[in-house]
Structure 1
Amino acid sequence: MEIQYLDIKRKHLDTVVIVEVGYKYKFFGEDARTASKELGIVCIPGKFRYDEHPSEAHLDRFASASFPTHRLQVHVKRLIQANHKVGVVRQVETAALKAAGTNRNTPFVRKLTNLYTKGTYVDDIEGLETPTAGSGAGAQSTGYLLCITESNAKGWGTDEKVQVGLIAVQPATGDIIYDDFEDGFLRSEIETRLLHIAPAEFLVVGDLSKATDKLIQHLSASKTNVFGDRSRVERVEKPKTMAAQAYSHISNFYAGKMKSSQENDSDKQGAILDKVHQLSEHVTICLSAMITYLSEYGLEHVFDLTKYFQPFSARSYMLLNGNTLSSLEIYQNQTDFTSKGSLFWTMNRTKTRFGQRLLRKWVGRPLIDKSKLEERIAAVEELKEGENTIPVDKLKFMLGKIKTDLEKVLIRIYYKKCTRPELLAALQTLQEISGEYLSVKTPEESGFTSTLLSESVSNVPKIYDDLNSFLEKINARAAKDDDKYSFFREEHEAEDINDFKLSIASVEDDLNTHRKDAAAKLGKSKVDYVTVAGIEYLIEVKRKAPEEKKVPASWQQISATKTTLRFHTPEVKRMLQERDQYKESLAAACDKAYKDLLEDISSKYQQLRDCVSSLATLDALLSLAALANQPGYVKPTFTDDIELNITGGRHPMVEQLLLNNYVPNDLSLSHDSTRALLITGPNMGGKSSYVRSAALIAIMGQIGSYVPATNARLGMLDAVFTRMGAFDNMLKGESTFMVELNETSDILKSATPRSLIILDELGRGTSTFDGVAIAEAVLDYVIRDLQSLTLFITHYQHLAKLTTRFPAGELKNVHMRFEEQNGGKEVVFLYEATEGISHRSYGLNVARLARVPEKVIDVAEVKSADLEESMEVCKLGNLSRMMKGLLADGSEASLDKLVEGIAQL
């Protein structure tokens, strides 16, 4: 046993190995210490090392820890969540077959049968997910395993460019995303993709640049990271000839599948091979590494499913980069990094797990194709208007009855890992739902007018006949009880299963007949068998009874009490051994027949997946319709113009979390009139909430949702860029101001006239004069050259004069209203946006709200007044010098210069 274990462990030193020993699973050595720490189970002292170290020479056995067999999946998941790679070693030899073999005196044969990591765990339908639908649970990863590689493209330092390839696989659903792109010094493109995909595990191919490596470490190393949990990082080498090796490996992988596939599948495999050969070099390297990696876990078949093999950067979606996802709290809030308070939390009213996953994709990928957007929002409107009608209520009722994650069960069927109860539940659920819509033969018969709704509903009944053919083979009661021996109905049982059952019945009949012989030897009229402690066919003899002396010497005593002896006759022992062998063979035959059924169902995977995808679409649309039915939500109007006109707009998340009423505001931006708003106001006056609400309304509109406003007229935006908040990035060695300027630089390079730009207090990371200069130059460039729609928050009142440079009204001043009380010592925030400029920021009022000592505030007031007075003196001095120059010159040009100078003061 110890030799077996060491042989396996030395091949998997990076793995926590769990070994099946009888009715328990055990850990040995250092793994036992790890298990004790992570699982809270007792570690029995012993050797911890696997290398016969002299320091442990006095110990004769390994340290160990154990748990009952039925707790395996519970403990495996806990170890995976703690970022361990876990292997399960099972006995692959049964007691009955071993007893019949020639190696009966050797230890049971054990093999590593399963390997798990956070990104490859699919053995449990619940996976590693947290509760669904608006539970407010912590933000979770999506279960993606992401493979990444890069090479230096050009430049160095701040001009460095890298070429990045990635492929992300979600083994639990079969979805695959790939991309190849160039990224700059900030690695903002990589960050954007990582925040969208939110991987549970990284596979890094080759060495990464310092900036990329630090970004991955930052995003994956902390329990409070953007993914809601620590992500596992695995690294593999990248030889110089990796590209050629990868191409050859992928060709051989799919060529092998073409040879082994049936004729009708060979064309499909050929099409797959053609598709993967079109991938870029970097993506090909990632695909090869991913196939090798997933082969270790038996999940490489996921790459057969290229219908769900999609590029990340298909530009049919609005660009929401990493900064925007964080600043606007799209997936999680910035306070405790949970989903509660995020846009997704606000919009998520789905009833199914697979519907929730689809809605999450929609939230991160707003549409920029106007026809698709209008198709989606028309479906939402029809569901909203049809509230409490029979077709809509029927949809809600049917989706509400789905208690299993159909998308995950389908891929588990494809991997041959689905349990019998899961299979039955999935097939019966799909049969019931498709049966409800059996009368729908075409989209026109669906009961809906929207194209998206009618096509989704008409897809559902297409699988009904296939489902019936599968279910008629299954004994539902046995499947529900996970009874492999009676799983198939008798008429659909394989011939060998029936033969083994008949053989077992024959042996049991012989055992029953044998009672007469046993009774005759004991001199009794009859003998009944008893079962004690799971041991069957025992013959009981009372102590001191006459028959005790008649017990043959060949009978084996199995157990005894004070009054009773229990025996097995030689014939019983022989027949039990024979029966157990038949049972083991029957179990193997039943497992094979079940795998064959799963193979048959897998041949219909695409049709079944299309049905589930349609149900997910319906669930996501119903979620948006439920949101649309909230008070104060309105259907936006979409135009081809570049504009953002909102009346009575509200922040969708804040209004749900506030105890009192949210103050709505108007906002109007248009490429042909006012392109930018310069927003001032006191600290905590609602400036950030005002601009965020506008951006979120634009995003929600292009998701296909109703929006929290009285009226909304929206142009089709291609991106939302934000530069909000200030912080040092110590991992990159960047100061607050450096972070500000780098992010701003990226925005200026990427924005188009159809983008919305939000800049919050740009320039505050340096001296006032430099900050004002940079803020003014950036704002001028955005309005004049980029011509993007812009919301610019600032405390630099000097910037208000910029409106004079744009006589056509491209820039307007807006401030958040407030009222002074108690001689200016207190400020009442009205949270209303109105035209004009706020001349003070009232930072001292915030200090009072923060309960800074009054003595400190009194000194600050004096210093503030002194500074304001000195600034006024400077202004008067400048005015005096201008007047002297005018009196000395007296020309008309000097008079114009004076007027301009006074305006600037």
Structure 2
Amino acid sequence: MAPTPPSQKPGQASISAFFKPKSSPSDITKFSQPDPVQNSSSSNGKARTSSSLDAGSASASTQPPLKRSKLSNDDEKPRRETIDRMGKWKFMPVKVSSSQVDELDPATSQEEPARSQKEQDRHEAFRKKLLGSNFAVDRHARNQMQIEQMSSRDPFSPGEARPSTGAEDEAIVVDGDHDDDDDDEGPSSTNRFGQFAAAKSSSAAASSSSKTKAKGKAKAKANDTDSGPTYTPLEKQILELKAAHPGVLLIIEVGYKLKFYGEDARIASKELNIMCFPERNLLAAMIPVHRLHIHVKRLIQAGHKVGVVRQIETRALKAASKNANTPFVRKLTALYTASTWIDDLSSSDDLAANMGDAYTNQPKSLMAIVEQSEGGNGPEDRVSIGIVSVEVNTGHLTYDQFSDGHARSELETRIAHLAPAEVLVPPKLTRPTEKVISYLLGSGAEGGVRIERLAAKPDYNQAFQAVTHFYRDRGLEAEASATTEEDPTAPSATAAAGDASSSKSTPFMSLILSLPHLSLIALAQIIQHLEAFQLESICTLSTNFRSFSSRTTMLLNSNTLANLEIFRSADEQTERGSLIWLLDKCKTAMGRRLLRKWVSKPLTDVDRLEERLDAVQALRDGKSYVLRTLPNLLHGLPDLERGLARMTYGRATPTELATVLLSLNRVTQEFKADEAATWNTRSSLIDTHLTSLLCGKQPVQKYLNQISIKEARANNKPDLFPDPDLYPAIQASKDNIAIVDTELREHLREIRKLLHRPSLDYVSVAGVDYLVEVRVADAKKVPVEWLRVSATKSMVRFHTPEVIRLTKVRDQHRETLDAAADEAFAAFVGEMCRTEYVALRNVVASLGVLDVLLSLAEVASSAGYTRPTFVATPDGESVPVEIHGMRHPILELVSPLPYIPNDIALSTPTSTRAILLTGCNMGGKSSVVRTLGLLVIMAQLGSFVPATSARLGIHDGVYVRMGARDAMFAARSTFMVEVSETADILRSVTARSLVVLDELGRGTSTHDGVCIASGVLEWLLARERAPNVVFITHYLQLGEMERRFARKVRNMHMAFVETSPADFAEFGGLDDDDAATGHIEFLYKLRAGIASKSFGIHCARLAGLPEGILKSAARVSAQLEQRHRRALERKRHALLRRVFAPQLDAGAVEALHRLVAARETG
């Protein structure tokens, strides 16, 4: 036996004795193989095992001592610099006897003893412990291997639950969380000090137990390696959360971090441009806690459904519970999509550019769509469609049920008005509906509208039962008697409601049960969907319900909104250049939203129109001091509508509550009720809304007096309510904290006596409170049981056992106080919303109306604007239009050239119902008809118009079909789009409609186009109750309609001045191009008669076509005109010969023919 080295005690082997060089390259791969499972005790570098070896026993069963230490730097020992050199070292068997130690010398030992399977397993386990996560080369190789394995394994993906495996269920894990999560799953700092002290006092007793546990852990890990990955408790919790919430991208709170895991991490890395890295068995990505709302908004705008998982246990309460050593309990606490995201009041205005365009940032809505076949040419031709749309930011709920044709134009119109950000649809829709939704809304994954399909086909009976139970559970009981005319399955719904029929009906429930049947199904889907977001309370407020279709408003279809550029310009696809851009001078978010609704739905009630115009005129004149104070009153107001919605959902913070109440208090205190007689506003509408402001004064003051504004602005819920009797639970928790503070002060007196330092006081360092600080020289005098926390060169800081105990108790009371304060605040806001929501909502609504009226008054103050005059007409009669000096309201602002005004008249005693408008290309035809449409809409929403005078009847619809476009994704050609949109117009028009058709038929051949255009115009003119029509065309053949329908249509054209080539010959030095083709000067004025040409070549020259092409076109045009003229001459000559041949000779007939031709040309 070789002698033991002097530095080594007998019976003890050094760590270098367990390594020997090897020449087999096969072990290199084995050594560098990444370990998919890392024990947290080994990863933090603190796992140790120790035992003693009996020097005289050859079969010792105890393990040799293992300790993390650096290998010797002796020259005869290899250096660990590369993987190749590291591969020369091999870990020896764990069982080592003193005789085996003697044989470790390379000079004397040539063969390696054979290992048993048990020894091999133990060898692998200890190799991992010794070289696991702290060895740089092996750690790098393991990370690369984990990334490759995770990419192929895909632990879980959104929308899928990970299947359970036996390896997961039977895995034995030592620690629950990662080493970088110690701040989360581990105890608090105070608890660590206590545990450290306890561990220090009992270390000797626990040494033998730790040896046994270490053996068991290593053996279990070696056995689990073959059966699959071993998940830590945190990872198991994450997988369970993903399985419970399929299709949701989860952001999980882990300690003081927010993390994504698995496929969610990969998606977040792509969308947010953040790092994605392997962490144990899952991929992970991380974001800062304070930027959560920013990243959530980016994810939902990309079309994702995002959930936030929070730790619902606090450190102090968890430390005091029985499950202190288990992972924190985590639950889904918030769920977001694009339609359910509610900005707080401190964020930018919802109409300001988060995505770059105010049009795209109008209040986003959640829409549910339900359809039912009506038959027709096929099962998918005509359908009944029911919709319900909710604007979560404002609480508005819109419902409708309508019949729609194959083109689904009615559905397209409602989508254009309601602008959904998320749509709920049944599992299967008809193909036309699917095409329209796909074409209009796009895909959420590509930044479009998010579409969520329901798990099952909706059923009316189930929907009826769900809705009645929902409102009954909230105290809104009703008699379950539903109208059954629209759905033959409805009678069974009454029975499905159960005992609801015996309850007392309320007006609100009567409204709910009177909804159309498909709308009721859609409402049930909306309620069920919002419950997952905890936003269903918005459906319990009757003031938020409104019907999309109304007899008192005009419905503008999607084509009219686009062609007249109501909400966005056609060129830039932005709000600039649109009608809403012109009219929006509002100072509040409530006013901007209301103005959008007024513009999209102009009034058809003369009395309400005159009331609005009176208010606009009064505000424009500004003769009352009350009216002059309104702009300053509205300036700087927050989004009170959104604030009320957040309060209703329970999402408001104390700061937001104070902001809303203070703002409402300011506007309600501005005017006095006893001064109402002196307001002299000359507008009943303004007086009504000023009175509404006064009605909100009392409830606002009532709740404002119950809170501390200072504490509310600091978001300090525990001190928010000055009255301690208002919420006794808060005061009880404060009393308990005060008792602990008193005990801490009493304990400080004991410490002063013990240390003989009367002026000693507690200190706080690095967030650790109640430290006892003593000088280094006196540190040995403190009691042994005191826990040393930190030290400097001159001072040492301790925690006494009593301080540790009391701070634990105090932390528990503080967390109880926070919970009581949260509950009290929620109860306070909930009570206010239940009792005073209607009054507060009326105040906010009145502020919105006053803001819109002020905006329209500012527009009316522009130069050249006049108040329109409305004429009442009997039903069935055509609506008169007589406008003098009308100007395009947008072009005169954005164009550097002056706009040429025009006069137009329809259905007046001196004019016809229809105009056939022809003229040159770029002559101003489309501009004139757009001006007419815009002025009609502006007048009927209550605005002044840019004209010298305007006398109008009340139109029930404005239908505009202009331009040429295809719908490739909807499988419709340009001509198909033209005729489909025209067909929709013809089905919808009445005698009180305004119809504008621009160049119908240009999407097909000239012959077919003339036939279609002629047929449509004739159909409109032949109606007994014909609408007002402006028909633009380049088909000059249609000019004969004036002769056929003399009292119904007249020809008009856009005036121009043409200079012929012969005229150029009289002048010298003119352009050769003009001399060849003539020159056109547009006058942009409406004139009677039909145009002679369209002058397309002149337009082509302005567009910049090469001159060679223009000359060729002019030559072909001249040839075609000459051919057409000769054909007409032949027909005329043949007709004259047939008529006059019996009476005249051939020479006389020829002379007559020349005379007629000369008269036509001259």
TM-score, scaled to structure 1: 0.92
Partner of 2:329: 109
Q: Deviations along 1:701-740, whole A, 9 cap, x unmatched?
A: 0001000111111111111111111122223322222221
**Pairs within 5 Å for 1:386-785:** 386=622, 389-402=624-637, 404-439=638-673, 446-490=679-723, 493-543=726-776, 545=777, 547-602=778-833, 603-641=835-873, 642-670=879-907, 672=909, 673-785=911-1023
User: Structure 2 residue aligned with 1:45, among 278, 283, 286?
Assistant: 278
Task: Determine helix, strand or coil for the equivalent of 1:631.
Answer: coil
Q: Deviations along 1:777-820, whole A, 9 cap, x unmatched?
A: 22222123152111111111222232122333632323243554
Partner of 1:55: none
CA 1:868 to 1:819, structure 2 compared with 1: closer, same or farther past 3 Å? Answer: closer
Which stretch of structure 1 is more off in the superposition, 724-733 or 617-626?
724-733
Task: Determine helix, strand or coil for the equivalent of 1:150.
Answer: strand
Q: CA deviation at 1:337?
A: 2.1
User: Structure 2 residue aligned with 1:184, among 401, 405, 408?
Assistant: 405
CA 1:209 to 1:158, structure 2 compared with 1: closer, same or farther past 3 Å? Answer: closer
Partner of 1:791: 1030
Task: Determine helix, strand or coil for the equivalent of 2:282.
Answer: coil
Task: Determine helix, strand or coil for the equivalent of 1:486.
Answer: coil
Q: Distance in 2 between matches of 1:488 and 1:310?
A: 37
Q: CA deviation at 1:523?
A: 4.2
Task: Determine helix, strand or coil for the equivalent of 2:374.
Answer: strand
Task: Determine helix, strand or coil for the equivalent of 1:757.
Answer: strand
- Structure 2 gaps of 5+ residues are 1-233, 479-501, 874-878, 1061-1073
- Is 2:1055 aligned against 1:813? no
Q: CA deviation at 1:141?
A: 4.1
Partner of 2:308: 88
Q: Distance in 2 between matches of 1:189 and 1:144?
A: 18
Q: Distance in 2 between matches of 1:104 and 1:394?
A: 62
Q: Distance in 2 between matches of 1:675 and 1:317?
A: 23
- Is 2:585 aligned against 1:346? no
Task: Determine helix, strand or coil for the equivalent of 1:200.
Answer: strand
Q: CA deviation at 1:561?
A: 3.4
Q: Which has the larger radius of gyration?
A: 2
Partner of 2:424: 203
Q: Distance in 1 between matches of 2:325 and 2:843?
A: 54
Q: CA deviation at 1:887?
A: 2.8
Q: Distance in 2 between matches of 1:580 and 1:167?
A: 48
Q: Deviations along 1:180-218, whole A, 9 cap, x unmatched?
A: 111011111111111111111111134211111111111
CA 1:259 to 1:703, structure 2 compared with 1: closer, same or farther past 3 Å? Answer: closer
User: Structure 1 residue aligned with 2:342, among 122, 134, 155?
Assistant: 122
- Higher RCO, 1 vs 2 (CA within 8 Å, ≥6 residues apart): 1
Q: Distance in 1 between matches of 2:387 and 2:950?
A: 38
CA 1:62 to 1:313, structure 2 compared with 1: closer, same or farther past 3 Å? Answer: same
Q: CA deviation at 1:176?
A: 0.8
Check whether the contact 2:417–2:600 (CA below 8 A) recurs between aligned residues: yes
Q: CA deviation at 1:548?
A: 1.3
Check whether the contact 1:440–1:461 (CA below 8 A) recurs between aligned residues: no
Q: Distance in 1 between matches of 2:444 and 2:880?
A: 41
Task: Determine helix, strand or coil for the equivalent of 2:250.
Answer: strand
Q: CA deviation at 1:132?
A: 8.1
Task: Determine helix, strand or coil for the equivalent of 1:70.
Answer: helix
Q: Distance in 1 between matches of 2:550 and 2:789?
A: 72
Check whether the contact 1:537–1:568 (CA below 8 A) recurs between aligned residues: yes
CA 1:829 to 1:271, structure 2 compared with 1: closer, same or farther past 3 Å? Answer: same
Task: Determine helix, strand or coil for the equivalent of 1:115.
Answer: strand
CA 1:779 to 1:637, structure 2 compared with 1: closer, same or farther past 3 Å? Answer: same
CA 1:145 to 1:528, structure 2 compared with 1: closer, same or farther past 3 Å? Answer: same
Task: Determine helix, strand or coil for the equivalent of 1:44.
Answer: strand
Cα RMSD, aligned residues only: 2.6
Q: Distance in 1 between matches of 2:1142 and 2:883?
A: 52
Partner of 1:54: none
Check whether the contact 1:205–1:289 (CA below 8 A) recurs between aligned residues: no
Q: Distance in 1 between matches of 2:952 and 2:932?
A: 10
Read off the aligned partner of 2:331 and give its amino acid letter: K
Read off the aligned partner of 1:337 and give its amino acid letter: Q
User: Structure 2 residue aligned with 1:360, among 591, 596, 600?
Assistant: 596
Which stretch of structure 1 is more off in the superposition, 2-11 or 508-517?
508-517
Task: Determine helix, strand or coil for the equivalent of 1:436.
Answer: coil
Q: Distance in 2 between matches of 1:99 and 1:767?
A: 83
Task: Determine helix, strand or coil for the equivalent of 1:483.
Answer: coil
Task: Determine helix, strand or coil for the equivalent of 2:906.
Answer: strand
CA 1:18 to 1:533, structure 2 compared with 1: closer, same or farther past 3 Å? Answer: same
Read off the aligned partner of 1:397 and give its amino acid letter: N
Identity %: 41
Q: CA deviation at 1:501?
A: 1.6
Q: Distance in 2 between matches of 1:800 and 1:621?
A: 45
Q: Distance in 2 between matches of 1:554 and 1:818?
A: 108
User: Structure 2 residue aligned with 1:171, among 392, 395, 412?
Assistant: 392
Task: Determine helix, strand or coil for the equivalent of 1:45.
Answer: strand
User: Structure 1 residue aligned with 2:474, among 238, 254, 257?
Assistant: 257
Partner of 1:307: 543
Q: Distance in 2 between matches of 1:12 and 1:720?
A: 47
Task: Determine helix, strand or coil for the equivalent of 2:515.
Answer: coil
Partner of 2:170: none
Partner of 2:461: 244
Q: Deviations along 1:331-350, whole A, 9 cap, x unmatched?
A: 11122322111111111111
CA 1:138 to 1:247, structure 2 compared with 1: closer, same or farther past 3 Å? Answer: closer
Q: CA deviation at 1:370?
A: 0.8
- Is 2:1139 aligned against 1:877? no
Check whether the contact 2:1054–2:1084 (CA below 8 A) recurs between aligned residues: no
Task: Determine helix, strand or coil for the equivalent of 2:475.
Answer: helix
User: Structure 2 residue aligned with 1:839, among 1092, 1096, 1103?
Assistant: 1092
Q: Deviations along 1:602-649, whole A, 9 cap, x unmatched?
A: 121011101111111111111111110011111001012411111111
Check whether the contact 1:205–1:286 (CA below 8 A) recurs between aligned residues: no
Q: Deviations along 1:751-779, whole A, 9 cap, x unmatched?
A: 11211110100111111122122212222
Partner of 2:211: none
Partner of 1:376: 612
Check whether the contact 1:247–1:284 (CA below 8 A) recurs between aligned residues: yes
Partner of 1:53: none
Q: Distance in 1 between matches of 2:590 and 2:469?
A: 34
Q: Distance in 2 between matches of 1:646 and 1:306?
A: 42
